[in-house]
Structure formats: structure tokens, C-alpha cells
């Protein structure tokens, strides 16, 4: 299935492990016995405590009865112990306990050199507290370097009462200094059933990143056949790394991918590249690349880059590995620099274009290239009689193929007065907008140079009331008015570079233009009114509910038009309402509507009910746009018992009586292993073609996983 590549369930899945830091979230804690010997501060002095002692010869003595011996860094405990004070050698031939930082051993016999830190333990039960792992071994040998070699061993990160999985091996070497365990002639046992033999295997003992193979994965697709990938992670340095992704598609061939990531003190960057030579289905070479950078050049200057390119428009439909890639319409190509002088001015330079992935889009529906775009924003640092002056200046060179193109420059000086008091606020803004165009490829009869000059004035005011309810909570009432006047200018001859229609919502009530962009500035003589009321909890200050209702009154018809958008009639507009209600700590409701008083019907509706309580989440939503869409969306993730949880989503078009997406799955998560089985059917291409498949994931915690909490990957060298 496109985008679904579950882990291999046979030998290939486990030959090379990916490594997550062993103390992954939720990993099992390995408890020590209540009578485990305690550690103190490091010292050369030996502390002895026993019920009886017998001196055998010079420096050699036998101690009996609850014997405890410690040098601060290590502690020994047994019923009988032989100690050579001259050689600082401990010998025990009965059940005993040994402890040092990060290691606990219970054994039937041991011999330990305190000065060298070396020892041999027989028939041992071992706990590695930092790795949250435990093991049973016929023999364990500690070297002077701190390496532990275990023979006849069974190793696991599961809790003591769990036998979910274990690694049984002829020998395991635990190198705590390097944070690696190495097993030879190992057998993986799942619930005591042997499932895999590995001649050699490494696994992590800490959370360090290492070079090595990540999880292989496998999936199926009607377009690609079997889809097998096996990523290799390369840890180049603490602040940069590389992942190489070989991927075999049986119906297309071998694809090679790579991702390089860099993290600096004030910047991050990544470079992705994928290549499939001679696609067996298209007989074409196919590739995708993307560079992303974000960071500071100095304290005031920043640089962002996002550049992507793909060989063909169907690349993500056929080869995309992410679930949402098939819905991409454009790929960005942008460089953006921002210079910010706080409280004074901001200067922005942007170079941008897009690669269009939807071939059905007409030329006029595709965005223009901006080569370049400049913007300068400044305000006076101080106020005179509550008034500040400001300037918003812009320049763009719009470039396109076989369309009208050219340069646009825009000046917007303004004066803004604003007063804010506890119970009220008021403000005005007087501005002038001058826009000029120098055009190329203009249509016959259209001038090459166009200018537009528009003054505008707006005023706003609002009141703030509040009261104490009978329950002691605080309720507010906040009426607000906004008046806008902009004279009419005929703009039919101005090309449309970046203007479009905006959704009519609460924010748009108080906007100074009913269009987005600059190419169309609507004439206006209108008054917006809205009232908001909130109920605040007396104890926590949380908003229990919030309700807003608003409407716009146009005293004159707004005559400026845009392709597909006619003039706006005078009179009252649709009534906008928004209501959020916190029914309880777990349940919230949300309703937003657009109601036409002229037709006495709803033009737009969104309603959603949510439940969220300690991992149990569910929601049901309904969306309606008159003559456009009517959809229902149900989602849930519900823990059932223990680590078992159910997941599901169903999104359907009520207008066309068609299911748009179906998702159903079950997952299990314990402290030492997790699994997920999921079915999904969804729209996979821009053409509306459906795809479906099954996802199966399985993880043994402490032996493998994807990434770490900060997004880094952890791996180790392979087999």
C-alpha cells in the first residue's frame, strides 16, 4: 500500500537492529532486592561488618554471618566471605550480592580483585540499572576496563514477571564505556518461543547515537508491488548526521535516498535526495531533492531557505512514502532574509517560486514567481498624543510563463492613534496606499504602466464589562465596533498577481480589505459590530465558555470585483457566530456558523465535540458549506485494558454519500514491547484514486526503535 511499509516479520527484520536509547519512555524499571548492599562515597579504606571472623594466615581471613564489605564504590554481601587484605581479593563460595554504580549481581560464587576491579561470578542474576535491563548467566567476567562478558546468558529489558522477549546467547559482552552490547550465537525468544537465530548482534546500553542499520520495512502496493527499504544511519558528528535509504520496488526497481541533517548553535539545515534510475513502469529516471535551512547570520539578520524539485508531477503519487504527499499541489522554492531592528524597522527580502505538481491547473491558476520581493516596515518608536506614524513599503517583480508579468511597487504610510484603558479602548488609522505597475507581456489594449492611489480611514472602539455570577465566576461582556471607509477606484485593468478571496469570518469583520493581497483593494463604507462574552472560572482563571456574534453593515455597495468574485451588495451581511464551551474537564464543544438573514439558512457550519482524558481521546465533527461540501468526521483512540488500545477514524462526504477515509487499528504498548496493527483506506492521488492496505509495526524496547525524543536517530553497527 502506498505510504505503508510495515516492519519485516522474519529474519531480515532483526538481523540489524535500530537503536533507541535504552531508557525509552515507558521502558521497564528493573528493581533491586530490598536487602541489596548500599553504596557510599569512593574511598581506599575497606569497611567490614560480620558476625564472626577467623584469621587463617597473614592477611587472609574468613568472615561469617551477614557479612558486608565495601570500599564506597563497590559493596559485597554474603553469609560467608574470604578476604585477603594484602592482595585486596574477595572470594565467596555461597549465594552473594555485589553492587557497583549501574550494576547489580546476585551469584552462587565469585572472586573479585578490588584494586583492579576485575572478577568472576558464577550462576549470576544481573541488573544493569542504567540500561534498564537484566540477565541470567552461567558465568560473568568483569574486566579491568569495566567490560562484562557473560557466558550461557539470557538477556532482556522486560520486567521480572514478564517473558515477552529475551535474547539467549552463547556469549554477550556488555561494554558499558562504549554503551554497546555484543551477542554471539544468539536466539531471539518471544514468549519463550525461539523465532530467530543470529550469529552476531549488537544492541544499545545507553542513549548515544551510533552508525548502523535502522529497521528494515516492507509493504505492498498495486503500483509498486513489494516495497522493501532498509535505512542506514551514519553518525558523522554530534551536530550532523546522514541517513541512506536503499529501497527496492519490485515493479519499478532500486531507489536510493539520503537525508543529511545539520544542527548549529543558531541554525538548522537538512538536504534530502532520492533517485530511481530507469523506472520499469515508465522507462524514465525519476528523482526528488529538497534543501531546507533556517537560522541566524547575526543577532538581527536571519536566513531561511526551502528549495524542492521533483522530476515529474506523478512522483509522489507513485513513490511517496508519506501519507500526505499525494495531496501536494506545489513544491516550494524560496529564499528569505529578514533584518530586524526591534522597535524601529524590519526589512525583508524574498525570492520565491513553485514547482506545480497538478498538471490540470491552468496557467492563470499557478502562482507567480517573485524575483525578488522586498518589504520595509517601520514605525516611530515613541507616541505623540497617543499617535504613531508608520510605513509599509513593498516591491515585487512578478515573473511567469506566457502571462502578463511585471513589477509592482506599493507605499502605505499611515498614522495610528490608539488609547487603551481598563474598561474601554478606541483607535483610528488614517492611511494612504499608492501602488504602481510596470508590466510586460500586457494584453492588447492594456497599458504598460498603471498607478492607483487610495486613501482610507478606519476607527474602532470597544467596551469591557464584567460581573460576578452567583457561582462566584467572572463573566465578561465585550461589545466592539469597527468602521472602515475606502473610496472606489476602478481596478479592472490591474492584473491579478496575488489577490484572492478570503473566508468571511470573525477576523474578516475587522479587516481593511475584503480581498487578500494588494492587486485588489475593495471600496468600503461599512460598520462591523461584534459582541463577545466569556465565563472565567473563579479558581483557575480558565475560560469555561466563550461566545461571539458579529455582523457587517455595508452602507454602500462594494463595487471592486475580482475574477469569479462580484461586487458585494449593500446592506447587512451574514451573521457570524462562534461558540466554545468546556462542558467538563474532559469534554469540549465548538460551534461556528455563517447564517444568512436574507435566505434564513446557514451558508457555513462547523461543529465539533471532543473528549480527552488521560490518553482516551474521541471527537465527532460536522462540516457544511452550502453547495460545496457536507462532511462528517469521527476519530477515536481508546485504551481498553492494560496497554491495549483501539484506534479509528471515519471521514465521509454526506453530500456525495462516499467514504473519504477509513482507519481502524489495534495497538498494544508495554514497558518492554509494543505492536500496532492498522487498516487504512484513503484517497491516494490528486485524481481521487483510492488505496488501501494494512500496517503492522512491532518493537522490542531496548533492542530497537525509531529516533529519540529530540528527533535524533540512534543506531549501531550491524551484523
pLDDT at 327: 63
Lowest-pLDDT choice from 53-62, 232-241, 597-606: 53-62
Question: What tens digit of pLDDT does each residue of 324-381 get?
Answer: 565 678 999 999 999 999 888 999 999 999 998 888 788 888 899 999 999 999 999 8
pTM: 0.77
Question: What tens digit of pLDDT does each residue of 109-155 get?
Answer: 999 999 899 999 999 999 998 888 999 999 999 999 889 999 999 99
Cα(665)–Cα(669) distance, integer angstroms:
13
Q: What is the mean pLDDT of residues 482-501?
A: 94
Provide, for the chain, the percentages of residues in helix, strand and coil under a 3-state DSSP scheme, each rounded to the nearest 5.
5, 60, 35
Question: What tens digit of pLDDT does each residue of 157-188 get?
Answer: 999 988 899 999 999 999 988 888 999 999 99
Question: What tens digit of pLDDT does each residue of 503-546 get?
Answer: 888 989 999 999 999 999 999 999 999 999 999 998 888 999 99
444 in any annotated domain: no
Question: Is residue 682 pLDDT above 60, yes or no?
Answer: yes
pLDDT at 71: 87
pLDDT at 418: 96
Question: What tens digit of pLDDT does each residue of 243-279 get?
Answer: 999 999 999 999 999 999 999 999 999 999 999 999 9
389 in any annotated domain: no
Domain, as residue range, for 16: 11-212
Cα(518)–Cα(514) distance, integer angstroms:
11
Long-range CB contacts (< 8 A, 24+ apart) of 263-270? 263/239, 264/239, 264/295, 266/295, 266/296, 267/293, 267/294, 267/295, 267/296, 267/303, 268/293, 268/294, 268/295, 269/293, 269/294, 269/295
With cut-offs at 50, 70 and 90, classify the pLDDT of residue 7. Answer: very low
User: What percentage of residues in the chain have a pLDDT greater than 70?
Assistant: 91
Question: Is residue 484 pLDDT above 60, yes or no?
Answer: yes
Return the H-helix or E-strand segment holding 12. Answer: helix 11-15
Q: Please spell the DSSP secondary structure of 638-662, one letter per residue.
A: EEEETTEEEEEEEEEETTTTEEEEE
92 in any annotated domain: yes
Q: Do the bridges between strand 405-420 and strand 96-100 make them parallel or antiparallel, or are there none, so unpaired? A: unpaired
pLDDT at 719: 29
pLDDT at 324: 54
Write the CA distances from 68 to 36, 114, 188, integer angstroms.
11, 14, 38
162 in any annotated domain: yes
Q: What is the mean pLDDT of residues 431-439?
A: 97
Question: Is residue 631 pLDDT above 90, yes or no?
Answer: yes
**Other Cβ atoms within 10 Å of 709 Cβ, number:** 10
133 in any annotated domain: yes
Q: What is the CA radius of gyration of the chain?
A: 35
Cell numbers 471607509 label which residue? 485
Question: What tens digit of pLDDT does each residue of 639-664 get?
Answer: 998 889 999 999 999 998 899 889 99
With cut-offs at 50, 70 and 90, classify the pLDDT of residue 41. Answer: low
CA 72: distance to chain centroid? 45
397 in any annotated domain: no
CATH value at residue 90 = 2.60.450.10
693 in any annotated domain: no
Question: Is residue 716 pLDDT above 50, yes or no?
Answer: no
Q: Return the DSSP state at 364.
A: G
125 in any annotated domain: yes
CA 26: distance to chain centroid? 19
Residues 151 and 183: beta-carbon distance below 8 Å: no
With cut-offs at 50, 70 and 90, classify the pLDDT of residue 26. Answer: low
- 369 phi, psi to nearest 5 deg: -80, 140
Question: What tens digit of pLDDT does each residue of 585-630 get?
Answer: 899 999 999 999 988 999 999 999 999 998 899 999 999 999 999 9
Question: Is residue 1 pLDDT above 60, yes or no?
Answer: no
Query: For residue 131, what is its C-alpha cell?
Result: 540500561
State how many domains the chain has: 1
Amino acid at each position: 500500500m502506498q505510504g505503508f511499509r510495515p516492519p519485516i516479520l522474519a529474519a531480515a527484520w532483526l538481523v540489524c537492529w535500530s537503536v533507541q536509547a535504552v531508557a525509552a519512555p515507558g521502558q521497564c524499571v528493573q528493581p533491586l532486592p530490598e536487602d541489596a548492599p548500599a553504596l557510599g562515597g569512593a574511598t581506599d579504606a575497606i569497611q567490614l561488618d560480620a558476625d564472626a571472623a577467623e584469621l587463617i594466615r597473614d592477611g587472609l581471613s574468613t568472615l561469617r554471618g551477614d557479612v558486608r564489605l565495601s570500599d564506597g564504590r563497590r559493596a559485597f554481601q554474603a553469609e560467608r566471605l574470604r578476604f585477603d587484605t594484602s592482595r585486596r581479593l574477595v572470594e565467596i563460595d555461597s549465594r552473594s550480592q555485589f553492587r557497583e554504580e549501574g550494576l547489580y549481581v546476585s551469584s552462587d560464587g565469585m572472586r573479585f580483585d578490588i584494586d583492579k576491579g576485575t572478577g568472576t561470578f558464577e550462576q549470576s542474576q544481573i541488573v544493569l540499572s542504567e540500561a534498564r535491563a537484566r540477565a541470567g548467566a552461567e558465568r560473568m567476567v568483569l574486566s579491568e576496563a569495566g567490560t562484562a562478558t557473560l557466558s550461557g546468558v539470557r538477556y532482556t529489558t522486560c520486567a521480572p514477571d514478564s517473558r515477552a522477549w529475551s535474547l539467549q546467547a552463547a556469549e554477550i559482552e556488555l561494554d558499558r564505556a562504549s554503551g554497546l552490547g555484543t551477542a554471539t550465537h544468539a536466539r531471539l525468544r518471544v514468549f519463550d518461543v525461539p523465532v530467530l537465530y543470529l550469529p552476531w548482534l549488537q544492541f544499545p546500553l545507553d542513549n548515544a547515537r551510533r552508525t548502523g542499520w535502522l529497521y528494515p520495512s516492507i509493504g505492498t502496493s498495486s503500483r509498486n508491488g513489494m516495497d522493501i527499504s532498509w535505512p542506514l544511519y551514519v553518525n558523522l558528528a554530534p551536530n550532523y548526521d546522514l541517513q541512506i535509504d536503499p529501497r527496492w520496488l519490485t515493479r519499478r526497481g532500486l531507489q536510493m535516498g539520503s537525508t543529511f541533517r545539520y544542527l548549529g548553535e543558531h541554525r538548522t539545515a537538512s538536504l534530502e535526495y532520492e533517485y530511481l534510475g530507469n523506472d520499469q513502469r515508465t522507462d524514465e529516471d525519476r528523482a526528488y531533492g529538497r534543501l531546507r535551512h533556517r537560522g541566524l547570520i547575526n543577532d538581527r539578520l536571519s536566513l531561511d531557505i526551502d528549495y524542492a524539485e521533483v522530476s515529474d508531477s506523478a512522483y509522489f503519487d507513485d513513490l511517496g512514502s508519506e501519507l500526505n504527499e499525494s495531496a501536494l499541489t506545489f513544491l516550494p522554492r524560496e529564499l528569505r532574509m529578514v533584518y530586524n531592528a526591534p522597535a524601529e524597522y524590519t526589512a525583508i527580502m524574498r525570492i520565491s517560486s513553485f514547482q506545480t505538481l497538478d498538471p490540470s491547473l491552468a496557467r492563470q491558476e499557478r502562482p507567480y514567481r517573485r524575483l525578488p520581493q522586498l518589504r520595509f516596515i517601520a514605525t516611530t518608536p515613541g507616541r505623540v498624543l497617543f499617535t504613531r506614524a508608520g510605513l509599509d513599503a513593498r516591491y515585487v517583480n512578478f515573473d511567469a510563463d506566457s502571462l502578463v508579468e511585471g513589477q509592482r511597487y506599493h507605499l502605505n504610510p499611515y498614522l495610528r492613534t490608539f488609547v487603551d484603558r481598563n474598561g474601554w479602548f478606541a483607535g483610528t488609522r488614517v492611511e494612504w496606499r499608492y501602488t504602481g505597475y510596470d508590466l510586460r507581456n500586457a494584453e492588447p489594449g492594456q497599458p504598460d504602466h498603471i498607478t492607483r492611489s487610495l486613501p482610507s480611514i478606519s476607527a474602532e472602539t470597544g467596551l469591557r464589562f464584567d460581573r460576578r455570577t452567583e457561582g462566584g465566576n467572572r463573566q465578561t461582556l465585550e461589545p466592539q465596533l469597527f468602521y472602515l471607509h475606502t473610496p472606489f477606484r476602478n481596478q479592472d485593468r490591474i492584473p491579478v498577481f496575488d489577490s484572492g478571496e478570503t473566508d468571511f469570518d470573525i477576523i474578516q469583520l475587522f479587516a481593511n480589505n475584503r480581498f487578500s493581497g494588494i492587486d485588489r483593494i475593495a471600496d468600503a463604507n461599512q460598520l462591523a459590530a461584534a459582541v463577545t462574552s466569556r465565563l472565567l472560572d473563579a479558581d483557575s482563571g480558565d475560560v469555561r465558555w466563550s461566545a461571539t456574534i458579529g455582523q457587517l453593515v455595508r452602507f454602500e455597495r462594494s463595487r471592486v470585483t475580482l475574477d469569479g468574485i462580484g461586487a458585494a451588495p449593500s446592506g447587512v451581511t451574514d451573521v457570524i457566530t462562534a461558540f466554545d464551551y468546556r462542558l467538563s474537564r474532559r469534554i469540549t464543544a465548538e460551534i461556528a456558523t455563517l447564517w444568512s438573514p436574507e435566505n434564513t439558512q446557514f451558508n457555513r457550519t462547523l461543529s465539533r465535540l471532543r473528549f480527552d482524558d488521560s490518553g482516551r481521546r474521541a471527537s465527532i465533527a460536522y462540516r457544511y458549506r452550502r453547495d460545496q461540501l457536507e462532511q462528517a468526521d469521527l476519530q477515536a483512540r481508546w485504551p481498553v485494558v492494560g496497554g491495549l488500545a483501539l484506534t479509528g477514524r471515519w471521514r465521509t462526504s454526506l453530500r456525495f454519500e462516499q467514504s473519504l477515509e477509513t482507519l481502524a487499528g489495534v495497538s498494544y504498548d508495554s514497558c518492554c514491547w509494543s505492536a500496532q496493527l492498522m487498516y487504512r483506506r484513503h484517497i491516494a492521488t490528486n485524481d481521487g484514486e483510492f488505496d488501501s492496505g494494512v500496517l503492522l509495526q512491532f518493537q522490542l524496547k531496548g533492542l530497537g526503535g525509531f529516533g529519540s525524543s529530540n528527533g535524533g536517530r540512534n543506531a549501531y553497527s550491524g551484523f
